[in-house]
């Protein structure tokens, strides 16, 4: 299988089955720019030790090993970059996605894609799972798939053709051009104006989301003033 629009210096490995595409790259000794795409992921991981369900052909699971030129301290911005790239790719496919800060992509209030960025000795591994053709999800999971949205079935190649160039472009924007990247995220932020409950390492917080700040943080209006949140384990709209 080949992709016409593979970014310069990137190469794609297609696997039938893997434990987790993120682990494959984190542990594997591959060069930066390696993209791994799996048909089946048997121990796919989400954030907060969740599983990422990926039956054959129903979910597109891929990871990319990156070593951006920007300082390592800025690499956490890759979460927002990957979110924006995924949303842009979905727009090019005709959907109207939104970014649910920090790393979920929603369509009509339901999750269609999730992102897990992890560091490794060799760089940052950006993992993206996108629900292509699932018809149902486990109890309590508020998710959707592209098939459920409009009945269309997308091949992995079609998705990658649209996603990889956007991911490469967004990755370049974690340094001096971060404001540009943020503007794209802000325009698609589904939380702006909503009341949310957040669970962070510093405790729990409830308030109204004003916007995303200049460092990519979520700005929460509370009775005590605006609180910037850099990282959250859970963000729930209330």
Closest residue to ligand BTN using C-beta atoms? 114
**What is the distance between the alpha carbons of residues 111 and 188, in angstroms, rounded to a whole number?**
14
Piece of the chain touching ligand BTN by CB under 6 A; list 69-77, 111-119, 136-144, 197-205: 111-119
Tell me how far apart the alpha carbons of residues 68 and 140 are, in angstroms, rounded to a whole number.
37
User: In this chain, which of 7, 10, 39, 63 binds ligand BTN, going by CB under 6 A?
Assistant: 63
Q: If you ran DSSP here, which 8-state letter would residue 222 be given?
A: E
DSSP 119: E
C-alpha distances (whole Å) from 37 to each of 7, 44, 236 are 15, 12, 30
Question: In this complex, which beta carbon is closest to ligand BTN, that of residue 7 or of residue 129?
Answer: 129
> Does the footprint of ligand BTN cover residue 231 (CB under 6 A)?
no
Interface pick for ligand BTN out of 6, 27, 40, 47 (rule CB under 6 A): 47
CB of 23 to ligand BTN, least distance (A): 7
Is residue 46 near ligand BTN by the rule CB under 6 A?
yes
What one-character DSSP code corresponds to residue 217? P
* Contact present, 88 and 166 (Cβ < 8 Å): yes
- Report the residue number, 3 or 36, with the smaller CB distance to ligand BTN: 36
Among positions 45, 166, 173, 188, the unique one binding ligand BTN when judged by CB under 6 A: 45
Q: Which two three-digit tokens encode residue 191?
A: 């939380």
Q: Which is nearer to ligand BTN, 47 or 208 (CB)?
A: 47
* Interaction residues for ligand BTN, span 173-192 (CB under 6 A): none
188 vs 207, beta carbon nearer ligand BTN: 188
Residues 125-164 binding ligand BTN (CB under 6 A) are: 127-129
Enumerate residues 6+ apart whose C-beta is below 8 A from 95: 107, 112, 146, 149, 150
Q: Are strands 218-222 and 203-212 parallel, antiparallel or unpaired?
A: antiparallel
- Site mask for ligand BTN (CB under 6 A), range 71-110, x = bound: ---------------------------------x------
Quote the least distance from Cβ 81 to ligand BTN, whole Å. 15
Give dist(CA 203, CA 205) in Å, integer: 7
CB 212 within 8 A of CB 182: yes
Q: Name residue, tokens 């990156």.
A: 66
Site residues (vs ligand BTN, CB under 6 A): 20-22, 44-47, 50, 52, 61-63, 104, 114-116, 127-129
């Amino acid at each position: 299988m080949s992709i016409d629009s593979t970014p310069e210096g990137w190469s794609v490995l297609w696997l039938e089955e893997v434990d987790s595409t993120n682990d494959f790259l984190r542990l594997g000794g591959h060069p930066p720019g390696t993209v791994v795409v799996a048909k089946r992921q048997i121990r796919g991981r989400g954030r907060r030790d969740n599983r990422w369900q990926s039956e054959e052909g129903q979910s597109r699971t891929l990871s990319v090993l990156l070593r951006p030129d920007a300082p390592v301290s800025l690499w956490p911005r890759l979460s927002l970059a990957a979110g924006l790239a995924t949303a842009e790719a979905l727009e090019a496919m005709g959907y109207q996605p939104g970014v649910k800060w920090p790393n979920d992509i929603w369509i009509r209030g339901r999750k269609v894609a999730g992102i897990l960025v992890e560091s490794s000795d060799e760089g940052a591994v950006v993992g993206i799972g996108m629900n292509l053709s699932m018809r149902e999800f486990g109890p309590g999971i508020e998710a959707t798939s592209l098939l459920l949205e409009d009945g269309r079935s997308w091949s992995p190649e079609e998705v990658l053709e649209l996603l990889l160039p956007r991911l490469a472009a967004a990755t370049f924007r974690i340094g001096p051009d971060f404001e540009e990247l943020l503007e794209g995220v802000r325009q698609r932020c589904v939380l702006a104006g909503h009341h949310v409950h957040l669970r962070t390492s510093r405790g729990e917080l409830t308030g109204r989301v004003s916007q995303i700040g200049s460092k990519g943080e979520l700005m929460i209006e509370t009775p005590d003033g605006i609180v910037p949140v850099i990282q959250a384990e859970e963000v729930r709209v209330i």
